[in-house]
């Protein structure tokens, strides 16, 4: 599983100018089964996405295709972790530590 942390690098008016394209990109990745959750940070200086079921190379490709990335309005920090414990509703994403 991956935590994708977005940090805006441009004023909010530039972010908002590509927000609709970014939301459509999010919907595409949800439909592909790559994203589990996403939302804005508070205060609004970026966002967070949880991604699962993909490898790091795929996550990096997905991030590179984000309209926010293409417009140069954010940077991403990608953190991989092993989700060994989850809420019951997320049980399908539960992972085992490598042996």
- Measured distance CA(78)–CA(56) in Å, rounded: 9
Instruction: Report pLDDT digits (tens) over 47-97.
Output: 999 999 999 999 999 999 999 999 999 999 999 999 999 999 999 999 988
Closest to 73 (Cα-Cα) out of 2, 22, 4, 3: 22
- DSSP-assigned letter for residue 60: H
pLDDT reading at 23 higher than 90: yes
User: What's the average model confidence in pLDDT over 17-42?
Assistant: 98
pLDDT reading at 35 higher than 90: yes
Model pTM score: 0.94
């Amino acid at each position: 599983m991956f935590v994708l942390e977005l940090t805006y690098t441009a004023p909010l008016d530039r972010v908002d100018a590509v927000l609709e394209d970014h939301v459509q990109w999010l919907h595409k990745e949800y439909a592909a089964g790559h994203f589990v959750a996403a939302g804005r940070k508070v205060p609004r200086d970026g966002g967070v996405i949880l991604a699962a079921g993909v490898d790091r190379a795929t996550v990096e490709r997905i991030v590179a295709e984000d309209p926010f990335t293409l417009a140069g309005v954010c940077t991403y920090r990608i953190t991989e972790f092993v989700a060994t414990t989850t809420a019951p509703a997320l049980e399908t994403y539960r992972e085992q530590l490598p042996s």
